[in-house]
Amino acid sequence: MAQKNLLPMILLGLINIEKKTGYDLKKDFETEIGEFWSVKHSQIYLELKRLEGNGEIKSTTGFYGNKIEKTYYEITKKGKERLDSWLDSYSDILSVNKDEFVLKLYFIKSRKDPRLQDLLQEQYRQRKQKLEHLLDRKELLFSTKKERDDNYGHYLILDHAIRREREYVNWLEEMMK
């Protein structure tokens, strides 16, 4: 089954929050959205052209700040309607997690495989590092109740990611014993 292209919805959602440049959107994927969704930089600009061609966003190019030419994108009524329609819909399809580490584990047939411990330890190091990063982000973004309440969906996603990584780290610790 073909995977649904959700990039337009992500971009519409981000632009709906506030006007953004392509660079702003790229930064959002490197920080906030990147915790649960990845995209190539070039895909962002291709999709922005499609959205603009469909009349779902509009762009304004001008000189801002230090007289740097920038193009800002903002959502149109048509784009807002599409975003709202998507937010109101529900999918009964669970997404498939493409995890190279899990795939490699699948092909290791023996507990005595010399690659197993290194694979587990490297994944443990990476997951611990990611967990620490997520905890730092939570402290930075949501240290007060007001900050949590003002962007509750983002808070929930970050909390979910922290719980997922904690469980992953715990599982890895258990498997390395």
Question: What does the pLDDT look like over 131-166, one tens digit per residue?
Answer: 999 999 999 999 999 999 998 988 998 999 999 999
Give how far Cα 32 sits from Cα of 132, 134, 154, Å.
Answer: 15, 10, 8
Q: pLDDT class for 1, splitting at 50, 70, 90? A: very low
Task: Write the pLDDT tens digit of every residue in 23-45.
Answer: 999 999 888 787 778 888 889 99
- Residue 48: what pLDDT? 97
Arithmetic mean of pLDDT, 59-84:
90
Summarised one tens digit per residue, pLDDT across range 89-120 is: 887 666 667 788 988 998 999 999 999 999 99
Residues with Cβ < 8 Å from 171, sequence gap 6 or more? none
**Tokens describing residue 72:** 């800002």
* Residue with more model confidence, 34 or 62: 62
- Predicted structure pTM score: 0.71
Question: Residue 33: which of 48, 49, 17, 57 has the closest Cα?
Answer: 17
Question: Structural domain boundaries of the chain?
Answer: 7-88, 100-176
Confidence of residue 65 (pLDDT cuts 50, 70, 90): confident
Give the closest residue to 21 by CA, choosing from 54, 64, 56. Answer: 64
Task: Using alpha carbons only, give the angle 88, 92, 98 rounded to the nearest 5 degrees.
Answer: 110
User: Looking up tokens 């506030």, which residue turns up?
Assistant: 18
How much is the pLDDT for 135?
95
| 7-88 topology per CATH | Arc Repressor Mutant, subunit A (1.10.10)
> What pLDDT sits at residue 103?
85
pLDDT at residue number 2:
47
Q: What is the pLDDT of residue 93?
A: 65
Task: Look at residue 3 in the predicted model and tell me its pLDDT.
Answer: 56
Structure-token pair, residue 11:
């971009």
- Two structure tokens written together for 122: 């490297």
